[in-house]
Amino acid sequence: MPYTTVNEKDSELPRLEAQPPSTPRSICHYLNPFSTCFPLSRLFTSMPRVLYGHLPSNSIRLLHIHPGEPGTPIYCSLKLARIDDSLPEYEALSYVWGKQDVGMSIWLNGHKHTSGARLPKGSGKWGKRVIWVDALCINQKLKDEAYEKHHQVGLMREIYSRASRVLVWLGTDDSYQEAAPAFAILNAMAKANTHVGPGIPLLDSESEWVPVMALFINTWFTRMWAIQELVFARSATFIWGQEELSWEVISAAVGIIRACPALVAELETRQLTNAFLMHHLRNKKLSDVTSAHPFLHLLDLSRSFDVTYPEDKVFGLLGFTACKSKEKGTEMNLFIDPDYTRSPKEIYTDVARKLIQQSGNLDVLSYAMQYGVGGAEEVRKEEEMPTWVADWSSKNVVYPIAGLGPESRHMSGMGREMNVAATENPGIIKLAGVRVDVVEHVSKPVPFKHIREFDDEFKKLMEWCIKSRGSKDIHTAETLASMLTAGRQADGTLVKDPESHLADFCAYICEIDKTFLSTLWPSRAERLAVLAKENGNLGRARKATFRVLCHRSAFVTGGGRLALGLGGVRRGDIVAVLWGAQVPFVLRRGDEEVFELR
**In this predicted model, what pLDDT tens digit does every residue of 390-434 receive, in sequence order?**
999 987 778 888 777 666 666 665 667 788 887 888 888 999 999
pLDDT of residue 450: 77
Q: List C-alpha distances in Å: 373 to 17, 113, 454.
A: 14, 44, 18
pLDDT of residue 99: 47
* Phi, psi for residue 309 in degrees, rounded to 5: -115, 130
pLDDT tens-place string over residues 7-30: 434 445 555 444 434 443 333 333
Q: How far apart are CA 32 and CA 371, in angstroms?
A: 42
Confidence tier at 173 by pLDDT (50, 70, 90): low
The residue length of the chain stands at 598
Q: What is the mean pLDDT of residues 308-327?
A: 80
pLDDT of residue 6: 36
Lowest-confidence region among 318-327, 380-389, 421-430: 318-327
- Residue with more model confidence, 448 or 79: 79
Confidence tier at 567 by pLDDT (50, 70, 90): confident
pLDDT surpasses 80 at 439: yes
pLDDT of residue 317: 93
CA 576 vs. chain centroid, Å, equals 29
Confidence tier at 151 by pLDDT (50, 70, 90): confident
- How large a percentage of the chain has pLDDT more than 90? 31
pLDDT of residue 20: 39
Mean pLDDT of the chain: 78
pLDDT surpasses 70 at 78: yes
Which 3 state secondary structure label does DSSP give 109? coil
Q: What is the mean pLDDT of residues 183-193?
A: 86
pLDDT tens-place string over residues 97-110: 764 433 345 777 77
Closest CA to 457 of 572, 575, 326, 554: 554
Query: What pTM did the predictor assign?
Result: 0.83
pLDDT of residue 40: 38
Q: How far apart are CA 266 and CA 370, in angstroms?
A: 30
CB-CB neighbours of 73 under 10 Å: 18
Confidence tier at 467 by pLDDT (50, 70, 90): confident
pLDDT of residue 239: 92
pLDDT of residue 389: 92
Q: What is the mean pLDDT of residues 558-580?
A: 90
Q: What is the mean pLDDT of residues 429-442?
A: 92
- Residue with more model confidence, 591 or 119: 591
Q: Find residue 219's DSSP bridge partners.
A: none
pLDDT tens-place string over residues 503-559: 999 999 999 998 988 888 888 999 999 999 999 999 999 999 998 998 899 999 998
Q: What is the mean pLDDT of residues 184-202?
A: 68
- 122 and 172 Cβ atoms separated by less than 8 Å: yes
- 436 and 584 Cβ atoms separated by less than 8 Å: yes
Closest CA to 1 of 374, 396, 288, 310: 288
pLDDT of residue 139: 83
- 466 and 458 Cβ atoms separated by less than 8 Å: no
Which 3 state secondary structure label does DSSP give 383? coil
pLDDT tens-place string over residues 199-226: 444 555 667 788 888 899 999 999 999 9
- 472 and 560 Cβ atoms separated by less than 8 Å: yes
Q: List C-alpha distances in Å: 533 to 215, 501, 513, 519.
A: 42, 13, 14, 18
CA 349 vs. chain centroid, Å, equals 19
pLDDT of residue 125: 53
Report the sign of the C-alpha dihedral through residues 305, 309, 310, 316, in that order.
negative
Q: How far apart are CA 10 and CA 292, in angstroms?
A: 9
Q: What is the CA radius of gyration of the chain?
A: 27
pLDDT of residue 50: 65
Closest CA to 309 of 358, 349, 342, 337: 342
- How large a percentage of the chain has pLDDT more than 70? 74
Q: What is the mean pLDDT of residues 328-343?
A: 74
